[in-house]
């Protein structure tokens, strides 16, 4: 046999370097990278690769299971393959590149058959993953039928599970629910987070045996019983005893399991019971993990025993600690190798610390509930429903204190400060919309009606606090005497609009001014997962109003972007009247990009609509769910089309 010469070897290495897929050759226990090709270097630009351990070369993937796979192959000698795994790779400019890879990592043996290292080969299948398999088109009819049935099941689960999770001072709560991969029947898992009058929050994850409508119906009954008892302020034992009585009467509820915890966000004191359910996982602020001891509680409906069915244990969470409750579907996954509980703890710790997929806008609790599920099920799938409920103690947000001059130009700055405060508190987008509009209307009202009196200063005070049971209580105070101004075309609906948006509104005129108080609960939606689609980062909206003319032929077409408030309403009215020639030309106004529609803006649109005749109609385009559409639906302005 003729061995290749130096020239032949160089040619072979050059050929390997031209391979159109990723190749990395690692040697020794440290897995030093001794060879890689151009495709590999292109994926990892700007990195020193050769002569370094693979764990250092791709350290940014340490929480995404790729690094562990290399060392697992070296340790066991068993190849590992992955299909369309998602990876986030840091770039030299600090950005994050997302790719999907199908790969194989195999042992590298020397001529004597001894283990020398490992070889990894991967294909970049990002385009394939995002566009879908070509074969999927052939099965499109069946897939659509499956998705339609899945949509019905998803809707059922949404109705049975909580519509939102409370936003509380000093606590961030998140939850996710992934339907079983092997069935299209609704499941029996559930979660709940109940804010109690005493400032504690009850955290619940339960699991009814079986699937289907019966299991879902029983789940709904058990959840309702526990929610009512916990909201009434009873303790853990009393609440579980009520659910146990139901389970003894309803056969389908027999042997349902529950983990119920009571947490005081202010002190971190925790009491919990595991009624036949896996114990909670505690992730410390420093990244350490430990499972709390099980309490030895019995599943529901299995019969009484001496000493009680539901013993309770106590623990304490420090600020930064995260508590994770889960159903056993996350542990009992097909093809799981090794300790599933240990794997859950490691992946949850990585996601909590932000070491896994890149999602800077999510809280640690949200990352744990969504990324943990994705990372654990993507290789082997899941046969049962998976439910995760996470709660992390955080420093409470200070009360909002804003003083603004009594002039419309100050409203946008105050609105931005309120939005920042609500975001820091953990408010969802819908609640931010409601409170920004409501307090903006009250501040506008105060500016128009109540300043310049004999009692003080031309200053509007905005104050807001988040109560222990998850309500924002906010006040808008002026220091002037009430006055009725002359008729203005862009005012008059502020208080009525506010009353429709918030839970309660109270206006109290006094000898030194007027105080308007709103109260509104904050909730954050849980995630009912049907897949792991990319999250698109929204483009920040313009801070100032932008009016753009669109092509329209004989019709005037205009798009509005940004806020329409007391400061910009007159501009909108004048500009739309000018472009429609006083209402004599048909006009379509696209409000899709409007970020804030105050009552002053509504009045301006009313005046423009009144100037148009039947032969020159005004059409307003506002997408369902958009800020403009929500306000227009409340006030009933005619001429709106989706």
For 477-510, the pLDDT digits (tens) are: 987 665 555 544 444 567 888 888 899 999 988 7
**What single DSSP character describes residue 485?**
P
Q: Give 529-588 pLDDT, tens digit per residue.
A: 755 554 444 556 677 889 988 887 778 899 999 898 888 888 999 999 988 888 888 989
On whether both 307 and 371 belong to a single domain, the answer is: yes
The pLDDT of residue 191 is 94
pLDDT above 70: residue 617 = yes
pLDDT above 80: residue 336 = no
On whether both 270 and 233 belong to a single domain, the answer is: yes
Find, among 583, 636, 585, the residue nearest to 609 by Cα: 583
The pLDDT of residue 145 is 62
pLDDT above 90: residue 179 = no
On whether both 191 and 312 belong to a single domain, the answer is: yes
Point out the domain boundary residue: 365, 393, 421: 393
> Is 147 within a domain?
no
Q: 229 with 215: CB under 8 angstroms?
A: no
Point out the domain boundary residue: 87, 114, 130: 130
On whether both 349 and 287 belong to a single domain, the answer is: yes
Helix (H) or strand (E) run with residue 108 in it: strand 96-109
> Is 555 within a domain?
yes
On whether both 387 and 260 belong to a single domain, the answer is: yes
For residue 57, what are the CA distances in angstroms to 27, 496, 540, 628? 14, 61, 35, 49
On whether both 255 and 329 belong to a single domain, the answer is: yes
Looking at the DSSP bridge assignments, the partners of residue 324 are 281, 390
Percent of the chain beyond pLDDT 90?
50
On whether both 410 and 313 belong to a single domain, the answer is: no
10 Å CB burial of residue 318 (0-12, 13-18, 19+) is exposed
Looking at the DSSP bridge assignments, the partners of residue 357 are none
Q: Can you give the CATH number for the domain in which 584 is found?
A: 3.30.750.24
> Is 171 within a domain?
yes
Structural domains counted in the chain: 4
On whether both 438 and 505 belong to a single domain, the answer is: yes
Average confidence (pLDDT) over 226-238:
95
H helices within 304-363, ranges in order? 340-352
Q: Can you give the CATH number for the domain in which 264 is found?
A: 3.60.40.10
Average confidence (pLDDT) over 439-457:
69
Name the more confident of 198 and 399: 399
CA pair distance 212, 252, nearest whole angstrom: 11
In sign, the C-alpha dihedral spanning 110, 115, 116, 122 is positive
Residue-number span of the structural domain to which 448 is assigned: 400-524
33's tokens: 């990278």
The pLDDT of residue 490 is 42
CA pair distance 199, 202, nearest whole angstrom: 10
335's tokens: 């093809």
**What single DSSP character describes residue 480?**
S
Q: What is the 3-state secondary structure (H, E, C) of 59-90?
A: HHHHHHCHHHHHHHHHHHCCCEEEEEEEEEEE
Looking at the DSSP bridge assignments, the partners of residue 273 are 260
pLDDT above 60: residue 4 = no
CA pair distance 388, 369, nearest whole angstrom: 6
Point out the domain boundary residue: 368, 393, 418: 393
Confidence of residue 456 (pLDDT cuts 50, 70, 90): very low
Confidence of residue 361 (pLDDT cuts 50, 70, 90): confident
Q: Can you give the CATH number for the domain in which 421 is found?
A: 3.30.565.10
Name the more confident of 43 and 134: 43
Average confidence (pLDDT) over 190-199:
92
On whether both 511 and 477 belong to a single domain, the answer is: yes
SS3 content of the chain, % helix, strand, coil (to 5): 35, 30, 40
Q: Can you give the CATH number for the domain in which 110 is found?
A: 3.30.450.20
> Is 164 within a domain?
yes
Name the more confident of 61 and 152: 61
């Amino acid at each position: 046999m003729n061995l290749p010469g130096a020239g032949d070897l160089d040619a072979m290495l050059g050929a390997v370097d031209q391979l159109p897929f990723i190749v990395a050759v690692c040697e020794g226990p440290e897995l030093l990278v001794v060879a890689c090709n151009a495709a590999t270097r292109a994926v990892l630009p700007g990195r020193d690769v050769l002569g370094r351990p693979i764990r250092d070369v791709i350290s940014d993937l340490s929480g995404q299971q790729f690094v562990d796979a290399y060392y697992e192959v070296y340790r066991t000698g068993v190849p590992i393959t992955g299909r369309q795994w998602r990876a986030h790779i840091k770039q030299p400019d600090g950005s994050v590149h997302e790719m999907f890879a199908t790969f194989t990592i195999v042992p590298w043996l020397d001529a004597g058959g001894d283990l020398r290292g490992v070889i990894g080969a991967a294909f970049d299948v990002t385009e394939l993953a995002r566009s879908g398999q070509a074969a999927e088109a052939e099965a499109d009819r069946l897939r659509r039928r499956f998705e339609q049935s899945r949509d019905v099941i998803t809707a059922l689960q949404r109705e049975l599970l909580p519509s939102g999770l409370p936003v509380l001072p000093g606590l961030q709560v998140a939850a996710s629910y992934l339907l079983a991969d092997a069935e299209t029947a609704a499941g029996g898992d559930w979660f709940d987070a109940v804010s109690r009058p005493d400032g504690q929050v009850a955290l619940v994850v339960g699991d009814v045996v079986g699937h289907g409508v019966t299991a879902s119906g029983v789940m709904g009954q058990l959840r309702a019983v526990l929610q009512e008892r916990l909201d009434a302020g009873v303790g853990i034992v009393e609440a579980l005893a009520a659910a146990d009585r139901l389970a003894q009467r309803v056969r389908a509820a027999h042997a349902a399991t529950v983990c119920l915890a009571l947490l005081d966000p202010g002190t971190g004191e925790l009491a919990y019971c595991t009624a036949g359910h896996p114990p909670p996982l505690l992730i410390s602020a420093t990244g350490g993990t430990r499972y709390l001891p099980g309490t030895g509680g019995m599943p529901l409906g299995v019969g009484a025993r001496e000493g009680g069915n539901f013993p309770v244990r106590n623990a304490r969470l420090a600020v930064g600690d995260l508590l994770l409750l889960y159903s056993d579907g996350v542990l009992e996954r097909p093809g799981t190798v090794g300790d599933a509980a240990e794997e859950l703890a490691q992946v949850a710790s990585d996601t909590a610390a932000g070491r896994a997929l890149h999602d800077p806008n999510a809280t640690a609790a949200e990352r744990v509930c969504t990324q943990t599920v994705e990372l654990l099920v993507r290789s082997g799938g899941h046969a049962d429903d998976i439910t995760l409920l996470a709660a992390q103690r955080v420093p409470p947000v200070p009360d909002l204190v804003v003083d603004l001059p009594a002039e419309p130009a100050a409203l946008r700055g105050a609105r931005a400060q309120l939005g920042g405060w609500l975001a820091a508190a953990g408010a969802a987008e819908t609640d931010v919309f409601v409170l920004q509009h409501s307090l903006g209307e009250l501040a506008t009202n105060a500016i128009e009606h109540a300043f310049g009196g004999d009692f003080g200063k031309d200053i509007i005070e905005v104050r807001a606090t988040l109560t222990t049971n998850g309500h924002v209580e906010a006040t808008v105070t002026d220091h002037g005497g009430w006055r009725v101004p002359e008729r203005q075309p862009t005012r008059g609906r502020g208080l009525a609009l506010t009353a429709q948006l918030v839970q309660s509104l109270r206006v109290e005129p006094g000898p030194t001014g007027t105080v308007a108080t709103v109260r509104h609960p904050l909730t954050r939606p849980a995630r009912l997962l049907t897949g792991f689609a990319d999250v698109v980062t929204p483009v920040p909206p313009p801070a100032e109003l932008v009016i753009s003319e669109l092509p329209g032929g004989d019709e005037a077409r205009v798009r509005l972007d940004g806020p329409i408030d007391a400061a910009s309403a007159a501009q909108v009215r004048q500009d739309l009247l000018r472009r429609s020639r006083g209402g004599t030309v048909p006009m379509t106004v696209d409000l899709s990009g409007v970020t804030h529609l105050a009552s002053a803006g509504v009045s301006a649109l009313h005046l423009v609509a009144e100037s148009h005749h039947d032969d020159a109609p005004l059409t307003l385009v506002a997408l369902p769910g958009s800020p403009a559409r929500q306000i227009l639906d409340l006030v009933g302005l005619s001429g709106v089309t989706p």
